[in-house]
Amino acid sequence: MSSITSDSIREKEEQIQQAEKEKEALESGITNLQAIKKDLEAQKANLKQYVAQLDKSLMEMEQNIVELNQQIQTKEEEISQNEKELEAALEREQNQKESMITRIKFVYETGTPQLTELLLKATGFGDFLNTADYVERVMAYDQRMLQDYVTIREYVELCRDELELEKQILDQAKYNVQLEQQSLEELIDQKSRDIVSYETDINNKEKAIKEYEAELKAQDAEIAALEAAIAEEKKQIIANSGTVLTYDGGVFKFPLASYTRISDEYGLRIHPTLGVEQFHNGVDFAAPKGTAIYAAYDGKVAAAAYSGTMGNYVMIDHGDGLYTIYMHASALYVEKDDIVVRGETIAAVGSTGRSTGNHLHFSVRLNGAYTSPWNYLSQ
């Protein structure tokens, strides 16, 4: 450890001041769940607007949790470093203390005469000057040893104060994550209840069915537009004698890590809340929030965005008119035009969009139409 100086003390004091500001920011950085709920109340009459506003709050909370977890990791590393720094300072303090004890013991055991007495015994002016210089050096040495000890003691106390403050910040960050997670789950549960309530209300029934059908058409139009844009892009590549992506016929990887319970199958089904027959264009896999979503096959990300019905979604182009779509994610880990490989984590399971619970809606499109994912999937 380098020598401890007044600059070291000042630097440590500045670090403590910064940590105190960090703690204050953490204490005031909790999401105000009640304020969010109050703002959402006014949106409930318009389900699409309500879902979009609620999802925005959910994504902000998700990001807050990510940042808090990063802060926790950083803080744990800082605490480990500060513990080593304190240990080194304590060792230095002990060494300085032992040096002073040794010095005092030496003076006592050797009966070193008083400095004034040495000066009086000088035999001449030259001897007096030499003795005076010796006396000054001895006094300066002893004073320096004492001052070093005092400085080290002050630095040790500052190290202790900083370490304690850093541990308080760590505890606060962990507590904030817990609160944010609870608020997140509460908001997701409320969203689920409100969507079900809206769709099953007899007064909203006809309106809800029309809205749902309109949203599905808008969803299909959005995806078809993406496919058309990609097809045009491929024509340009071919015209320029480039190489385009082709599907080699391989089997898809199952898009979730270990959760394979099917909550809704592909094909015609009775909508769970609207009570009308609807075509379900994918397979729903129930899974806990945050479960990793994998790219089913190699390809290029055609879209990674948000939609009122699909929520956060990823669409991957596998070539030859084949696409996979992954809906309702809580987080997206890829961007448009990214190249992904089979099994790469591209998103996390969530309940964004028109969803009443955490799940992955997995769709496959071939040449502009939905097809059964089971034609390509391998569990």
CA dist 323 and 312 (Å) reads 17
Give the lowest-confidence range in 271-280, 302-311, 367-376. 271-280
Query: With 70 as the cut, is the pLDDT of residue 286 above it?
Result: yes
Pick from 110-114, 163-167, 258-262, 313-317 the range whose average pLDDT is largest. 313-317
First to last CA, the chain: 57
C-alpha dihedral (112, 117, 119, 124), degrees to nearest 10:
-110
Q: How many other CB atoms are there within 10 angstroms of residue 163's CB atom?
A: 18
Secondary structure (3-state) at 377: strand
Amino acid at 235: K
Kindly report the pTM of this predicted structure.
0.61
Query: With 70 as the cut, is the pLDDT of residue 272 above it?
Result: no
Amino acid at 203: N
Query: With 60 as the cut, is the pLDDT of residue 41 above it?
Result: yes
CA angle 146, 147, 148 (to 5 degrees): 90
Strands 377-378 and 252-253: parallel
What pLDDT digit, counting tens, does each position of 330-366 carry? 999 999 989 898 889 999 999 998 888 899 999 999 9
Report the sign of the C-alpha dihedral through residues 245, 377, 301, 346, in that order.
negative
The confidence band for 238, taking pLDDT boundaries of 50, 70 and 90, is: low
| Residue 262: φ, ψ to 5° | -90, 120
- What domains does the chain contain, in order, with CATH numbers? 6-200 (no CATH), 205-378 (2.70.70.10)
Query: With 90 as the cut, is the pLDDT of residue 110 above it?
Result: no
Give me the DSSP letters along 162-213: HHHHHHHHHHHHHHHHHHHHHHHHHHHHHHHHHHHHHHH-TTTHHHHHHHHH
Higher pLDDT, 176 or 317: 317
| DSSP assigned state of 247 | -
Find out whether 61 and 177 touch, Cβ atoms under 8 Å.
Answer: no
pLDDT of residue 273: 62
Q: What does pLDDT average to over the chain?
A: 79
CA dist 71 and 76 (Å) reads 9
Strand locations in 186-298 (E): 252-253, 262-264, 267-270, 277-280, 283-286, 292-294
Q: How many other CB atoms are there within 10 angstroms of residue 204's CB atom?
A: 16
pLDDT of residue 128: 47
CA dist 325 and 335 (Å) reads 14
Closest CA to 320 of 365, 260, 363: 365
| DSSP assigned state of 126 | H
Higher pLDDT, 186 or 316: 316
What pLDDT digit, counting tens, does each position of 305-335 carry? 998 889 999 999 999 999 999 999 999 999 9
Closest CA to 327 of 352, 291, 345, 297: 352
Find out whether 12 and 159 touch, Cβ atoms under 8 Å.
Answer: yes
